[in-house]
Amino acid sequence: MIDYTREELVELLKKNPDRFNEWKAEQGDEEINLSEMDFSGLTLNEIDFSNINLNSSSFADCSLSLINFTNTDLTSVDFTRSHIIECDFTESLMTGTDCSYSVVSYCNFTDTDLAGCIFSEADLSNSDFSSSVNLHASRFDEDTVWPDPEYLPEDFDAVYSKDLSSLEDEDDTVISDY
């Protein structure tokens, strides 16, 4: 069994993704930590990131398709401006993850915790959020494109209303003579 450094694993993903998947399968239940790694700008297809710690990593400006993120720690991951197609996020932790300006199509978010996930100006059409957790605690704006209501949790209201971080103080808008 080959033991790679974290940086060597990123290079392996770039140059030989099939070998990365084989290596990961050889690891069995051993914890794999790729937190705080930079995958920005990569095109990745058919990668098995299941059960991996990717906390605070960056996938900004990536093209991702058929990626398995099942049961993955994606806390505070940067997916801004990425194209994410047919990926499986089942049972993942996406608290604080930034998906702003991304296209997220045909993805599965079953039992995915989305508390604090940012979807500003994201196109989420055709993805399934119906069994996701804490979607109501995500951040989005009027430019976020949501899938049809049947792919959203029953109690979720996709109509944008300003969140607490954008509250304006009424006193700031009053013109004063002082």
Q: Is residue 162 part of a domain?
A: no
pLDDT at residue number 161: 57
DSSP character for 20? H
Whether 167 is covered by a domain: the verdict is: no
CATH number at residue 43: 2.160.20.80
Whether residue 161 lies inside any domain: the answer is no
46 assigned to some structural domain: yes
Q: Decide if 38 is inside a domain.
A: yes
Contact between 101 and 119 under an 8 Å Cβ cutoff? The reply is: no
E strand or H helix at 19: helix 17-26
Evaluate whether residue 69 is within a structural domain: yes
Instruction: Spell out a b/e string for 38-69, using b for 16 or more CB atoms within 10 Å of the CB, else e.
Output: ebeebebeebbbbbbbbbbbbbbbbebbebbb
Domain carrying residue 29: 1-150
The whole-number pLDDT of residue 157 equals 86
pLDDT tens, position by position, 27-86: 988 899 999 999 999 999 999 999 999 999 999 999 999 999 999 999 999 999 999 999
Reference 117, options 87, 76, 69; nearest CA is 76
In a domain, 176, yes or no: no
pLDDT higher than threshold 80 for residue 150: yes
CB neighbour list of residue 26: distance below 8 Å, 6 or more residues apart: 1
- Mean pLDDT in the chain? 91
Q: How many domains does the chain have?
A: 1
pLDDT at 29: 83
Could you tell me if residue 172 is inside a domain?
no
- Token match 């049809």: residue? 148
How confident is the model over 114-123, as pLDDT tens digits?
Answer: 999 999 999 9
pLDDT-derived band at 3, boundaries 50, 70, 90: confident
Q: Residue 121 region, left (φ>0) first, then alpha (ψ -120 to 50), else beta?
A: left
**pTM of the predicted model, to two decimals?**
0.86
